[in-house]
Structure 1
């Protein structure tokens, strides 16, 4: 029997890839780093176990198509419109500033403008896969620097499309006029395709996918999605545009239908498999000999990727009015080579813009920067020197902070300082306002601060991890510090800073996980509410209520959770069915109570217990084993295991629960 070509190499790639990734995961490095290391190890410049680079690159190209298709699935036209303000400015500043700085540095080394512009494109892109994975694992996607990084990465992903169009026309032998004409023609083709595919997505694709969905076959649906993905990529290639652009547009077509989420879930396994091959193929481009032969060029490019690019991203965040700490962390998060930088490098090489020899130092520096990113992201929050050095630049760029609170105001006292103005922070501030309790809010989202000031709310722009911000908020004379932050590491720093600024002011804070509670209490917090416990309690109450469990059984279950995990001063509240009647009696409750073996009511009838006269409750039904008695005899003794259904007011039910025990 004849063998499948290259099957042995694919098997080797899978086995070595898993092994290397597992080993590097012990060092807290992401899977992408393991895949890159696998490619460097087994590729032609490593031990040479895989030499069929052309076949591997075909699979890698399919991975790029799937990757762009899923990006298109995430960015439908409606979503892009919704998040435009969030991503446009920050991403624009980062990309444009990086390109300008790179072109300027390239000109100092007598590098031609087209090649300098290519370097600017490559250096402006960051690693979406590595950074988002790291932010997700550190639970920093929704913190201020995480939001800026995510928004910038979205903008970078969108910029890949025009960059892919422009790179082939940067070849030096073309005149500027000819190049501009070709770029204009390519953009015109792209615009035409967007309009055409937009029309198709509105009228044809939804109906076609509905017919496919009616078959109730997952295989047929997956084949249809693959047809859209590969078909749109093929059509754009016929028009002289890139496969990546077509895949992106195909994803946007599906995203605007009701089948977008299903398409994403079905195609993700295929995407991950082929993208893994893509990363391994990139690792195969790493040549250790380049690092040995040209160390100064590799280190220079690595310096540019990590230091200069990080500084430019930091300045972009400062231009968006983020404080120094957020800008510092955002700069570190964006300081690496991007996956699409490899795509642009391959495109530039095939177009003749740059030679293989010229790309080797760039790719070597890029792979090294990707390895460094997880380590830098882990270290950055603990390095305060960076944000201190940025403080003068922060003031120069006019980042507004809490110090404006002191201007023309009487010094507050006995107030509450709230850090964070998300949903929890807003509701806390609203409750304090209803109780006429003075309060000040510190928030790092400039748009939230602006909107709050329009509404006249005492919300100010400030980084609560700094002593200056807490000093301007007059924490030392406050009654309470409330932390409603989404960034757990920043919250720990706020606790540490607050203990130095105002050691006597109690700190009440929330945390996502119970395992973090004890360390926060030891650090100085007066009380910590674990969100996962409160969520579990609420879910238990609702689940048991929907399962028609007696109220006292629900009370006991919640009490056990609170006793073992987190006590609460709030009384237990259980969801209840309301009487759907008129006449103003919707406050009357129907409840069920279990008669336990050791209950004081066991063996006694409702008449003996004087249940109606002593509590005000009315027994309306009784369940005894499999039998349901809608009109029980009031003289009949209650037995252990009986479920008694009663109706009455809240006070009456509470009294009955005490009687039943």
Structure 2
């Protein structure tokens, strides 16, 4: 075992993350919290097995690269431009107000100015995208006007964070020359690299991936994607002296503008998720629980600034700047936390000697507290809105800017919920539309959601296997639920989630295997369709019809096979009887 240090450390880190993630989900906390605590468990400050921090940290660098590559894949200047009147003043004002406040507080604790500056920058602009998106999906808000405002704000924060990651190394004591010269040189290098990526990269990388996609080799295509993500990040660091994060971010942003972005995202997802988990574990390994016990007041103050300070400041800005009421409340609730970008920024500060590991632990602890509390803050949205409506002076000021009209969950009734917008789902949507049956589509593909929105078809963005999105679809008021996704595991979970809400609504599900038929029925499906087996049954039916056997008896036989879950290995008495009736009426 000692000859395989990398393999051992990857395995141990993933086991710790898995255990922590399971516990976190059971406690209804974000899995990120479990990953961080898993890192604490195998860190050098707790008893038991200690992972090799250097090895795991190097693996975590890959996690940062894949994480930023994924951010780039979702980066959209259009999303930012649509909500520019909210995102630009909101993000900049929070930075200008909260950063000096955090710097003042941390310097009163005796921290150096560079250390205080790192934390001061992390608090206003390092909102966790992972936590934010999950909360929006769980509340059914992601593809609403409020959700779009949040996404646009996150896009702007991504840009600011990338810029800060470029500038942080210039503040290091290892930097030579005047600070303005160092900063100017860093910005010049970053601009040069960005120019090369936007001019040459937009031509070469998409062309390469398109050509490789035609080779019919999935392995080569996946290797190319990983190479683009990691190779660009390493090239950015080696030749331009900028961070791995910037290189990976720009590589993702370049691919995002192509038609291959969805395919690239699906292929890179396992790598991104795995190495991002290792990144969170490596962060947790830096935390010394005993040290944190001695700094509980600092952790509490930092958590209050993040949770309460960001919430109140966003609320005040919404009133002063006349943002829509609901948008303001959603922004305020979502912004009361910090996450992965704070970790990346803090780790960069530790790497260049600007932030001590003990100080980083305090930032991590405050972030974890904010992540744990944030879902509960989201759940107070109805109560907060009720209280605000008791204050007509404030409410009238916020409503001076018109709210975008959208479908409300309260309007869902006698509708059909369609889970998945593939070829099967698209056909059902068209048929129901022609019959004027109300439809609501639930999907996890942003491009498909946007396509449906352009056609004025109601949608909800979310993962039916991992969130409460079906509750927002109000399946208890639906006439039927149709699950068209090919993933049988996700379909099983979707059925269970539907049955928790309603035991009566018909659920029609697509299966991909014979075994899946039985599992899906066992979970509570009303009808399960296996396209391949159904196609085989239709071939039998058409063959018998071509031989002039009577249609009524043919239909009786095929119905018996369906009732037996397409099991053709043996004949049931009903199937035997149907075949005998067909034989009796054999054409002469």
- Cα distance in 1, alignment partners of residues 16 and 461 from structure 2: 36
Q: Structure 2 vs 1, CA of residues 626 and 281 (structure 1 numbering), >3 Å: closer, same or farther?
A: same
Find out whether 1:101 has 2:97 as its counterpart: yes
Which whole-Å deviations, capped at 9, do the CAs of 1:507-541 have from their partners, x for residues lacking one?
A: xxx98645432xxxxxxxxxxxx3x73x759x9xx
Q: Which residue of 2 aligns with 1:88?
A: 84
Q: Structure 2 vs 1, CA of residues 52 and 424 (structure 1 numbering), >3 Å: closer, same or farther?
A: closer
Q: What is the Cα deviation at residue 244 of structure 1?
A: 0.5
Which whole-Å deviations, capped at 9, do the CAs of 1:262-283 have from their partners, x for residues lacking one?
A: 1111110011000011112222
- Cα distance in 1, alignment partners of residues 118 and 348 from structure 2: 11
Could you say which structure has the greater relative contact order, defined with CA pairs below 8 angstroms and 6 or more residues apart?
2
Aligned counterpart in structure 1 of residue 476 of structure 2, from 516, 529, 535:
516
Q: Which residue of 2 aligns with 1:183?
A: 183
SS at 1:626's partner residue?
helix
Which whole-Å deviations, capped at 9, do the CAs of 1:474-528 have from their partners, x for residues lacking one?
A: xxxxxxxxxx99799xxxxxxxxxxxxxxxxxxxxx98645432xxxxxxxxxxx
In the alignment, structure 2 segments of 5+ residues that lack a partner are: 413-457, 463-469, 485-503, 507-541, 556-588
Larger Rg: 1
Q: Structure 2 vs 1, CA of residues 362 and 147 (structure 1 numbering), >3 Å: closer, same or farther?
A: same
Given the two structures, how large is their TM-score scaled by the length of structure 1? Answer: 0.59
Q: How does 1:130-145 map to 2 (within 5 A)?
A: 130-145=131-146
- Cα distance in 2, alignment partners of residues 250 and 514 from structure 1: 40
Contact 1:230–1:247, Cα closer than 8 Å, also in 2: yes
- Cα distance in 2, alignment partners of residues 34 and 226 from structure 1: 27
Q: Which residue of 1 aligns with 2:210?
A: 210
Find out whether 1:127 has 2:87 as its counterpart: no
Q: What is the Cα deviation at residue 145 of structure 1?
A: 3.5
Q: Which residue of 1 aligns with 2:288?
A: 287
Q: How does 1:156-555 map to 2 (within 5 A)?
A: 156-171=157-172, 178-238=178-238, 239-318=240-319, 321-383=322-384, 387=388, 393=394, 399-400=399-400, 421-422=405-406, 513=473, 515-517=475-477, 530=478, 533=480, 536=482
Given the two structures, how large is their TM-score scaled by the length of structure 2? Answer: 0.66
Q: What is the Cα deviation at residue 112 of structure 1?
A: 6.7
Contact 1:298–1:365, Cα closer than 8 Å, also in 2: yes
Q: Which residue of 2 aligns with 1:626?
A: 545
Q: Which residue of 2 aligns with 1:39?
A: 39
Q: What is the Cα deviation at residue 183 of structure 1?
A: 2.0
Q: Which residue of 1 aligns with 2:433?
A: none
- Cα distance in 1, alignment partners of residues 215 and 461 from structure 2: 46
- Cα distance in 1, alignment partners of residues 399 and 546 from structure 2: 71
- Cα distance in 2, alignment partners of residues 639 and 269 from structure 1: 50
- Cα distance in 2, alignment partners of residues 148 and 316 from structure 1: 14
More helix as a share of residues: 2
Q: What is the Cα deviation at residue 304 of structure 1?
A: 0.8
Aligned length: 442
Q: Structure 2 vs 1, CA of residues 269 and 161 (structure 1 numbering), >3 Å: closer, same or farther?
A: same
- Cα distance in 2, alignment partners of residues 233 and 639 from structure 1: 65
SS at 2:5's partner residue?
coil
Q: What is the Cα deviation at residue 369 of structure 1?
A: 1.6
SS at 2:379's partner residue?
helix
Q: RMSD of the alignment, in Å? A: 3.8
Which whole-Å deviations, capped at 9, do the CAs of 1:409-450 have from their partners, x for residues lacking one?
A: xxxxxxxxxx9733799x99xxxxxxxxxxxxxxxxxxxxxx
Contact 1:294–1:361, Cα closer than 8 Å, also in 2: yes
Contact 2:145–2:404, Cα closer than 8 Å, also in 1: no
Q: Structure 2 vs 1, CA of residues 516 and 565 (structure 1 numbering), >3 Å: closer, same or farther?
A: closer
- Cα distance in 2, alignment partners of residues 624 and 234 from structure 1: 61
